């Protein structure tokens, strides 16, 4: 337990010690709020969808959790060559514990990042319809964070170089994000898009977060929870396996 | 090969995609000696160290580290050695003490022992006053010293040093070697080292093995090697045995990452 704890703690310490990174990472969500929120807002309202910022905010929060979580994989790549991770690989500690400690640490960072963006969205004008479901919203964020941190770790365990990682991430994460319903409602879409979205685990994360924050759901909160939990477990197990196979 | 051998390697081979990096090498390291493993770039030194330290699975052959097999019992093997990697592996965003603390926890060292040993070791490598500074503020030599201190924290029986003095000034190199020699004598730690500085190997090593193109060319004491080649320095013997060709290491991902790291570190300063 102690090993998992210190590896978790290490991720948090690194996060809090790089203030520049925290501030810098707010740029992208802010841009999305301004460009999409204020850009498409009037059209969305005119089409009868209501306040677009209300709809968009859970999507943007999901986005920042998703990106922070997945990109932590880069740190694995880097760290196994030039960092503490290499140190841990020769320590008499099971790889599973190393992987779990790291993953939970990076996932916690991703959730913190999501909470900061939540704060940002409130400043911009987002108002959750009920506060009672906030703990549940946090829970969905945690599930998204764990799933995609583990995914980043899994990919980083397979890939040797940074470029390769970035290419895979771009081809995987961008479509996952754009087809998750984060930016537009999944209702009344072409069949193909609906099918893809249904297969997209992130869509359940977005739906869960939107359901708990503003009360509109597409799949239903229980479905979201079940799919996302199953996904988190599956990716975590795959990630742990691949991580245990890392050679230097 | 008797009981006094702490590392026994037999017919060890490693191939990567059909390319043989290490080709049926056999050697042994005696308990308590300083053993230098030398060779040109790309000769198979790091691959061998990675196999000995459980980071890489051999293609064939056998290894015994203090009586344990790294492929079958990595846990036991990991407890017996400490390592200073060629590439830095301290966490620059943590303080020196945090780096030491985390290492101690990974090796399951109890709190009392941990506190005492960290102080002891940081004092020996002359970093105690700077213990609460972030490692990113350290010079190259200070980082090296910290890594060596950390590698010793769990009192390993074998200490691996993969080019520990690369890029350091003569003063720091001297300090580090004196320290390692002292440790080898007082704590009877077996030292397995690689270096490109032949005069350093000649000065500290009891026995030497030279590897080239994945095969061990020769092994023996520095005197034996010099006598065998009719040269008066280890450097002369090394060149006589491995030739004058300059080895170009193939540009690998690792090389790219090292370059990027250099640029990145400069920018941070």
For residue range B5-45, list pLDDT tens digits in order.
999 999 999 999 888 999 999 999 999 999 999 998 888 99
Contacts 24+ apart (CB under 8 A), A32-39: A32/A56, A32/A60, A32/A63, A33/A57, A33/A60, A33/A120, A33/A121, A33/A124, A36/A183, A37/A124
Residue B8: beta bridge partners? B28, B64
Sign of CA dihedral A75, A79, A83, A85: positive
How confident is residue B1, by pLDDT bands cut at 50, 70 and 90? very low
Task: List CB contacts (< 8 A) between B81 and chain A.
Answer: 90
**What integer best gives the mean pLDDT of chain B?**
89
Strands in chain A per DSSP E: none
* pLDDT confidence of residue B252: 67
Provide DSSP, B102-161. Answer: HHHHHTT--HHHHHHHHHHHHHHTT-GGGTTSBGGGS-HHHHHHHHHHHHHTT--SEEEE
User: Which among B78, B102, B257 is the nearest to A10, CB-wise?
Assistant: B102
Q: Which residue in chain A is spatially nearest to B49 when comparing CA positions?
A: A248
Q: What is the pLDDT of residues B208-220, one digit of tens each?
A: 999 999 999 999 9
A10 contacts B56? CB cut-off 8 A: no
Query: Would you call B106 an interface residue with chain A, using a CB distance cutoff of 8 Å?
Result: yes
Tokens at residue B265, please?
A: 């570190």
**A66-90: b (≥16 Cβ within 10 Å) or e:** bbbbbbbbbbbbbbbbbbbbbbbbb
* Chain A residue set in contact with B, beta carbons under 8 Å: 2-3, 6, 10, 13-14, 17-18, 78, 81-84, 86-93, 160-162, 247-248
* pLDDT confidence of residue B129: 96
- A33, A114 in Cβ contact below 8 A? no
**What integer best gives the mean pLDDT of chain A?**
92
How confident is residue B251, by pLDDT bands cut at 50, 70 and 90? low
* pLDDT confidence of residue B156: 93
How confident is residue B3, by pLDDT bands cut at 50, 70 and 90? low
Return d(Cα B189, Cα B202) in angstroms, integer: 19
Return d(Cα B25, Cα B62) in angstroms, integer: 10
* pLDDT confidence of residue B250: 61
Sign of CA dihedral A118, A123, A124, A128: positive
| Nearest residue to B267 via CA among A27, A181, A20 | A20
């Amino acid at each position: 337990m102690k090993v998992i704890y210190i590896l978790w703690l290490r991720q948090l310490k690194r996060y809090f010690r790089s203030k520049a990174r925290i501030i810098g990472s707010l740029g992208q969500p802010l841009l999305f709020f301004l460009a999409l929120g204020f850009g498409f807002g009037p059209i969305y309202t005119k089409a009868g969808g209501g306040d677009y910022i209300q709809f968009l905010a859970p999507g943007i929060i999901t986005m920042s959790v998703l990106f922070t979580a997945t990109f932590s994989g880069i740190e694995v790549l880097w760290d196994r060559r030039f960092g503490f991770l290499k140190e841990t690989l020769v320590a008499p500690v099971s790889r599973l514990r190393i992987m779990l400690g790291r993953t939970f640490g990076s996932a916690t960072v991703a959730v913190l990042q999501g909470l900061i963006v939540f704060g940002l969205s409130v400043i911009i004008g987002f108002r959750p319809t009920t506060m009672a479901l906030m703990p549940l919203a946090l829970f969905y964020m945690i599930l998204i964070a764990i799933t995609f941190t583990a995914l980043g770790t899994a990919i980083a365990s397979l890939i040797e170089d940074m470029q390769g990682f970035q290419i895979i991430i771009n081809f995987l994460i961008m479509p996952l994000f754009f087809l998750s319903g984060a930016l537009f409602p999944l209702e009344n879409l072409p069949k193909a898009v609906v099918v893809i979205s249904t297969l997209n685990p992130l869509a359940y994360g977005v739906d869960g977060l939107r359901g708990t924050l503003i009360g509109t759901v597409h799949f239903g909160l229980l479905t979201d929870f079940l799919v996302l939990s199953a996904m988190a477990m599956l990716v975590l197990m795959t990630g742990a396996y691949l991580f245990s196979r890392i050679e230097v | 090969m008797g009981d006094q051998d702490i590392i026994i390697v037999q017919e060890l081979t490693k191939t990567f995609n059909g390319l043989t990096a290490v080709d049926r090498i056999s050697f042994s390291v005696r308990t308590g000696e300083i053993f230098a493993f030398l060779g040109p770039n790309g000769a198979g030194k790091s691959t061998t160290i990675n196999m000995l330290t459980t980071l890489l699975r051999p293609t064939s052959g056998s290894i015994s580290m203090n009586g344990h097999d790294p492929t079958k019992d990595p846990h036991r093997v990991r407890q017996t050695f400490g390592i200073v990697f060629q590439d830095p592996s301290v966490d620059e965003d943590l303080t020196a003490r945090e780096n030491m603390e985390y290492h101690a926890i990974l090796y399951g060292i109890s709190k009392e022992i941990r506190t005492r040993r960290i102080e002891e070791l940081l004092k020996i490598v002359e970093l105690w006053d700077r213990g609460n500074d972030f490692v990113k503020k350290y010079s190259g030599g200070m980082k090296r010293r910290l890594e060596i201190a950390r590698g010793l924290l769990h009192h390993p029986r074998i200490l691996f040093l993969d080019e520990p003095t690369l890029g350091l000034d003569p003063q720091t190199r001297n300090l580090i070697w004196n320290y390692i020699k002292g440790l080898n004598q007082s704590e009877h730690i077996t030292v397995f080292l690689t270096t490109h500085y032949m005069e350093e190997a000649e000065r500290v090593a009891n026995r030497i093995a030279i590897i080239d193109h994945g095969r061990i060319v020769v092994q023996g004491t520095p005197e034996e090697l010099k006598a065998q080649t009719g040269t008066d320095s280890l450097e002369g013997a090394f060149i006589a045995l491995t030739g004058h060709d300059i080895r170009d290491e193939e540009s690998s991902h690792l090389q790219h990452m090292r370059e990027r790291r250099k640029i990145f570190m400069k920018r941070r300063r």
